[in-house]
Amino acid sequence: MKTLIVINDPPYGTERLYNGLRLAQTLLQRGNEVTVFLMGDAVAGAKRGQSTPDGFYNAERMVKGITTKGRVLLCGTCMDARGLTEEEVVERAERSTMDALAEATEQSERVLVF
């Protein structure tokens, strides 16, 4: 089943990004086709070089894990607004557009928003 997960919240401070990425990982493990679209402050979850305390989740590692079987798209406008460049994000996370989000929405059987 094709699932699109749209995440808006920052990587730390709330657990919406964390929970959205956990759901994406679980769906991928169950054989689903998953696209995650990070927008707003959530784009910072794909930034390389994150250092978190031991025992605390790391959004960068979670995003990397999803890119091995699924897609992670990053809102380009949101990246620009936050000064985040393509060189600063994890490999296989793709700078994207609202047109791509619209297309992914049309092609998905389920759309979940965090």
What CATH number should be reported for the domain holding residue 73? 3.40.1260.10
pLDDT given for residue 55 in this prediction: 87
With a cut of 50, list the residues of the chain below it in pLDDT.
none
Structural domains of the chain, count: 1
CA distances from 65 to 22, 38, 62, 70 (A): 10, 15, 5, 9
Token representation of residue 96: 């994207």
Averaged pLDDT score across all residues of the chain: 97
pLDDT given for residue 101 in this prediction: 98
Q: Is the dihedral of CA 45, 25, 72, 93 positive or negative?
A: positive
- Residues 87, 73: Cα–Cα separation, whole Å: 14
Per-residue pLDDT of 39-65, as tens digits, reads 999 999 999 999 999 889 999 999 999
Q: What is the pTM of this model?
A: 0.96
Range of the structural domain that residue 65 is part of: 2-113
